[in-house]
A = this chain, B = another copy of it.
């Protein structure tokens, strides 16, 4: 298996609200039906994210182009929001060394810094422009349709600043958008902007392995081929129609069942790893936006995903998880091997009560805290599952991401919703558009 999954603490009698042996068989049948439906949708081309091979050519073209930019930029700036930003944030946190941008702040001509501007707050945008040298910066404008208000506002501002300084847009802006549709491609074609495609059948929150996140990653020197290889291995695991052998199936079925049969509607993702902390907000979008909607009967449904971080949140949210309502599941994500660990030294004159720490390592402490939290939750009757990867490298990060995307579309079947749309945000967009258009009228 590409990843290791321990579901012992999702099971009864260990956790009273968990799945009893007798129920597991029925869940296997439920899974098999959902799995068959997902395979049919993949075969019909509805879930483009699962078909990595069809994106090979574009990936190669993108990598080749990224290689040509070497040494040309000190700063890479992602202009994107939601699915156009969260993947790059996750990869930056997981796969670039700690403090990457601080480390590279001083030098010029080395590895570029990577900024992700995922909002339209003028303070951040102005702060960013104070920080960068425009002539040494590449902006990635990421919007599938070109209809994203925030990203288009950013684009207009950046384009204006480039024009002001007489810098050619074709050297400073690359576009990632739909292969055919949308309003950005004509602009890119007209102005000679480098342009990369998000396949029409891949939505924003499923776009990690397209240039949306692969291009910023490649520009920062991350091995995108390894990311995609890990994802492909996971996609193979997830083709299994046996629940015990299908990691996405186990996650989807256990989370859905906890919600549907035990009222556990809040699904916490809690990496015990600073590097993997960005996986949680990325998962939050995937799970919330894919499943939170009206089901086939018109019922408002969907779990509430929650991002947490171990051990940090033991001093924040864990009190609630332990003693609050039994309405949550927790999924831990850990690393089995650490290429680097630090000793907790034995010190003469150390503070009282720290002898149990001395001579251990920080990694050991982190692991002990994760196990202890899982056991304590079980003791308090709260379900959890533990997922681990052999190590935190591009291959395994790719596998984790594909795992959660595959689980999401399976959960879509179980919740009986379409996991690829987001009809609920249209009204807000329309009202904002109207208000701005009206203010335009007033200003004239």
Interface residues of A in 300-351 (CB under 8 A from B): 300-302, 304, 306-307, 309-312, 314-328, 338, 340-345, 347, 349-351
A32: which B residues are within 8 A, CB to CB? none
* From B82, B118, B131, B275, contact of A98 by CB (8 A): B131
Give CA–CA (A314, B101) in the complex, Å. Answer: 27
A292: which B residues are within 8 A, CB to CB? 319-321, 323-324
Contact at B150–A311, with CB atoms within 8 Å? Answer: yes
Known: A318-B424, A319-B289. A357 touches B119 (CB 8 A): no
Of A45-53, A156-164, A225-233, the one contacting chain B is: A156-164
Chain A interface residue count, Cβ-Cβ cutoff 8 angstroms: 141
With CB as the reference atom, state the residue of chain B lying closest to A266.
B304
Contact at B304–A156, with CB atoms within 8 Å? Answer: no
With CB as the reference atom, state the residue of chain B lying closest to A315.
B82
A204: which B residues are within 8 A, CB to CB? 315
With CB as the reference atom, state the residue of chain B lying closest to A187.
B351
* From B274, B289, B352, contact of A320 by CB (8 A): B289
A124: which B residues are within 8 A, CB to CB? 98, 274
A361 at the interface (CB under 8 A from B): yes
Contact at B322–A123, with CB atoms within 8 Å? Answer: no
Known: A312-B118, A319-B288. A123 touches B340 (CB 8 A): yes
A244 at the interface (CB under 8 A from B): no
With CB as the reference atom, state the residue of chain B lying closest to A350.
B156
Interface residues of A in 350-407 (CB under 8 A from B): 350-366, 368-369, 371-373, 375-377, 379-380
Give CA–CA (A113, B106) in the complex, Å. Answer: 14
A361: which B residues are within 8 A, CB to CB? 122
A365: which B residues are within 8 A, CB to CB? 120, 149-150, 153, 432, 436
Interface residues of A in 409-444 (CB under 8 A from B): 422-425, 427-433, 435-437, 439-440, 443
The smallest C-beta distance from A349 to any residue of chain B, in angstroms, reads 7
A149: which B residues are within 8 A, CB to CB? 357, 365, 369
A265: which B residues are within 8 A, CB to CB? 325, 327
Give CA–CA (A375, B430) in the complex, Å. Answer: 11
A147 at the interface (CB under 8 A from B): yes
Known: A86-B316, A436-B356. A341 touches B293 (CB 8 A): no
Determine how many copies of this chain the complex contains: 2
A152 at the interface (CB under 8 A from B): yes
Contact at A125–B156, with CB atoms within 8 Å? Answer: no
Contact at B146–A293, with CB atoms within 8 Å? Answer: no
Contact at B429–A351, with CB atoms within 8 Å? Answer: no
A26 at the interface (CB under 8 A from B): no
A167 at the interface (CB under 8 A from B): no
Give CA–CA (A322, B294) in the complex, Å. Answer: 10
Q: When A and B form their complex, which 7 residue pairs have the shortest distance between CB atoms, in order from nearest? A: A82-B315, A98-B127, A292-B320, A322-B424, A105-B105, A292-B324, A323-B424
Residues of A within 8 A of B (CB): 81-86, 97-99, 101-103, 105-106, 113, 118-128, 130-131, 146-150, 152-153, 155-157, 159-160, 163, 183-184, 186-187, 190-191, 204-205, 265-266, 273-275, 281, 284-285, 288-289, 291-294, 300-302, 304, 306-307, 309-312, 314-328, 338, 340-345, 347, 349-366, 368-369, 371-373, 375-377, 379-380, 422-425, 427-433, 435-437, 439-440, 443
